[in-house]
Structure 1
Amino acid sequence: MKHKIAFFIGTLSTGGAERAVSNLTLNLSSEFDNNIILFENKAKVEYPYTGEIIKVRNVKASNVIYKCLALYYRMNIIKKMKKRNEIKTMISFLEYPNLINLLTRKYGKTVISVRNHMSTKHKKGLKSFFWKKTIKILYKKADKIVAVSHEIKNDLVTNYGIDEDKITIIYNSYPIQRINELSKEPIEEQYRNIFEHPVIITAGRLNKQKGQCHLIRAFSRVKALNPNAKLVILGEGELKEELEQLADELKIKQDVHFLGFQQNPFKYINKAKVFVLSSLYEGFPNALAEAMACGIPTISTDCLSGPREILAPTHIGVKNMSYEINREMFGVLTPVCRSNHLREKDSLLEEELTLANHIHHLLNNEDLRKYYANRSVERISDFNINHIIKEWENMISKFC
């Protein structure tokens, strides 16, 4: 008899958690019967998957009262769904699905996946206050918490009082062979002229978390030193117009290319010189790991959490981190940029200058690029989906 499980997430497009769900459903053993629960109003499906998709009907929530009613309504739907479909284990991803999963925990085993450094993400404001309280009260009631990095586990234990025995660390996994195959595909003719130049590339939602404004500002310095350089940004998000305006004000608009969400981002990444992750905080950044699977050198901010565990695992816990280029690492780390709103006329931050200098150094040192490209391929093998999927299967089997 198959183990009936459900993955609960808002959508199957654009995000790292969404891609993780896609990879899980595609690679879990056939002994598992997969359901994927999505919110109807966000139920965009752009990633491949296996299993049945179930959509939770949309509820309009324009104010706090209606949002509470919407939450109650969705809780009832999920509760009935758990009973009707006899789902023995529900695995949820991201805060809102985790909340609903935990509030309906009486009706099946509850596994939640925590994919961001919560104390960094929820620092201030009413919304952050709500999530701080919710995490402290409800997360300890989960049957199991899956954290995607050691730092996330430490955060949950230290700042939210979660029992460390309840938390299992399972790194994100990647279909490395498939990524490698996709990275070799040709890019569309309309973009080929861009990649005839030295390209710095990044990928992710266009929002404050990903720090693309800092990368664009750093690129203005790179461009002054490397006139032929181009910056390619993959992804969609609410800050697109603001980022385009910033590039325009810095007079580099013609050299910053927004290519939007791409079904196959790997074919662009593979043809760039350097991949840069400029995030202010992360959980375990898929974009960084997938760029490594494409076989190119990477630069990342040393944000909480994930990048250091990927690029410099022997430096976990080191307090006074040096941000010099270090061949002992699998890529280059830079300090996290301050997140205050910046204008084009503001002087570059020290962190942005460090990022710009490292990009410039890699662009102009072919031997170093080759070295870090090889280190990328070496390191990413540790996250092969064939190994890590077994950790998920073992964890799920304990509840079925």
Structure 2
Amino acid sequence: MSYNPIKVLHIFGGMNRGGAETLIMNVYRNIDREKFHFDFAVSTMKKCDYDDEILSLMGSIYHLSEKGGRDVRIYYNNLNQLLRSNKYDVIHSHIYYFSGVTLLIGRINKVPIRIAHSHNTSDGKLNSWKRILYRWIMRKSILYNATHLVGCSKEACEALYGPNCWNDVRTQVVANGIDLSVFEKVYNDKNSLREEIDLPKDVPLIIHVGRFSKQKNHVFLIEVFSEFLKECSNAHLVLVGDGPLKDEIVHLAVEKGIESNIHFLGVRSDIPEILSAGDIFLFPSLYEGIPLVLVEAQAACLPCLVPEAINKKEVDMGLGLIYSLSLKDDISLWVKQLKRLLLIRRPSKDEAHKKIREHGYSTDSAVQKLSCIYANTMRAK
């Protein structure tokens, strides 16, 4: 008896280096690819960071929008045609409220397993009556058409599926697992990154990894760092990522006269090495689900300063590395906490990785949980 591989279609905006995309790529690298085949449907025509790797792993990438447009009819028709021509066992949608559309199309095409996956606690949009109506319609569609309601945290589940989602047996948390084997190979070498950006070995180095978007709150981050420089003039800030607001943040740094202390590294594939070289991870997002990069920062034994909007109970691995303040607190409090974090004891890598595994945030745990969901469609040939 032999088995056809279970065919899974992942729905994303694009396969760039975001938290959700990185999670699924970690799963893709580690899942049994003789049993599971991944394809990706995206709503951009641009080449994305993970495209080449997806193709090297024998996955296909389908572009659902023509010339990057946002015409829902074109998107609907293209996805409908894709599902008709390729018989998928699973449609796994990662696009928040718009999953109401993708899962409806999946149901129409009789895809057996239809997964909505919430990676955030907000869509980041203003509460206009149109937006409120849109959310209501899409949530109804998700709840009607999904066979599984998955979230990276309890708060992420409640945000998308409603506060009563735990009464629904379809709801479950799949934690954002990271590939700890990558971090185990990285030595806590603080010199290589400093050499790359031409810094002395002993300067305090603050790290931030995130897309340049409103959600990541870079303006506040620059304000905090600007004040921190008044207390610690030799400190430097590394910003990893790209996005629509990058030019605005570069301009703000120049305007404040601190551009020589800020380093814009763009999109990088060596995040473990960068995190391991830092002294503090500063992450003042307006909202998040369970940010994968915070788990990665703890895997690198890096102290993290985050806003209270992030659920500390779910993201804290019990290593004494997560500290939080309110975004409404005076910036001076953020500066004082940064100074304290330069002095705290950091755990060993072995201790950190053991705790992360115990909390279920390893890739192995995510692979196991998602494999169980996908395998409901196993069919003998």
TM-score relative to the length of structure 1: 0.82
Residue 230 of structure 2 corresponds to: 224
How far 1:12 sits from its partner (Å)? 1.6
Per the TM alignment, residue 10 of structure 1 is displaced from its structure 2 partner at its CA by: 2.3
Distance 1:21 1:376 in 2: 23
Unaligned runs of 5+ in 2: none
CA shift, 1:71, in A, is 1.4
Query: What are the superposed Cα offsets for residues 317-349 of structure 1, whole Å, 9 maximum, x if unpaired?
Result: xxxxxxxxxxx76323323425xxxxxxxxxxx
Which of 359, 363, 371 is equivalent to 1:385?
A: 363
Change (3 A) 1:369 1:211: farther
- The answer on whether the counterparts of 1:308 and 1:333 sit within 8 Å (CA) in structure 2 is no
Structural mapping, 1:1-400, within 5 Å: 1=3, 2-29=5-32, 30-46=34-50, 48-49=53-54, 50-59=57-66, 67=70, 70-95=71-96, 98-104=99-105, 105-107=107-109, 108=111, 109-118=113-122, 121-125=124-128, 128-141=131-144, 142-158=146-162, 164-182=168-186, 186-187=192-193, 189-193=195-199, 196-304=202-310, 306-311=311-316, 330-337=320-327, 350-363=329-342, 365=343, 368-371=344-347, 376-381=352-357, 382=359, 383-400=361-378
Identical columns (%): 20
**Deviation sequence 1:130-151 (CA, Å, 0-9, x none):** 5422333212121111111011
Assess if the C-alpha contact under 8 Å between 1:56 and 1:74 holds in 2: no
CA distance in 2, matches of 1:280, 1:360: 22
Mapped contact 2:30–2:367 kept (Cα < 8 A)? yes
1:355, CA displacement in angstroms? 2.0
Closer, same or farther in 2 for the Cα pair 1:257/1:145, shift >3 Å? Answer: same
1:227 to 1:372, Cα distance in 2 relative to 1, 3 A = farther
Contact 1:146 1:169 in 2 (8 A): yes
Q: Distance in 2 between matches of 1:246 and 1:117?
A: 28
Please state whether the residue corresponding to 1:209 is helix, strand or coil.
Answer: helix
Aligned length: 363
- Post-superposition Cα deviations, 1:50-92, rounded to whole Å, max 9, x if no partner, equal 3422222532587xxxx4xx21222222222222211011101
Query: In the superposition, relative to structure 1, how do residues 97 and 139 fare at CA in structure 2: closer, same or farther (>3 Å)?
Result: closer
- Check whether the contact 2:17–2:49 (CA below 8 A) recurs between aligned residues: no
- In 2, are the aligned partners of 1:220 and 1:250 still within 8 Å (CA)? yes
Native 8 Å contact 1:330 1:376 kept in 2: no
TM-score (norm 2): 0.85
Q: Secondary structure at the match of 1:370?
A: coil
The answer to whether the 8 A contact 1:203-1:234 is kept is yes
Go from structure 1 to structure 2 and tell me whether the alpha carbon gap of 1:240 and 1:195 turns closer, same or farther (over 3 Å shift): farther
Q: Which amino acid aligns with 1:181?
A: K
Shift of residue 372 of structure 1?
Answer: 8.9
CA 1:175–1:386: 2 relative to 1, 3 Å: same
Q: 1:97 to 1:156 in 2, by over 3 A?
A: closer
Kindly state the Cα deviation for residue 309 of structure 1 after the two structures are TM-superposed: 0.8
Aligned-partner Cα distance in 2 for 1:337–1:189: 33
Contact 1:311-1:333 at 8 Å conserved across structures: no
Helix, strand or coil at the partner of 2:93: strand
* TM-superposed deviation, 1:289: 1.0
Whole-angstrom CA distance in 1 between matches of 2:108 and 2:197? 52
For structure 1, list consecutive stretches of 5 or more residues without a partner in the other structure.
Answer: 313-327, 339-349
Cα offset, 1:219, TM superposition:
1.2
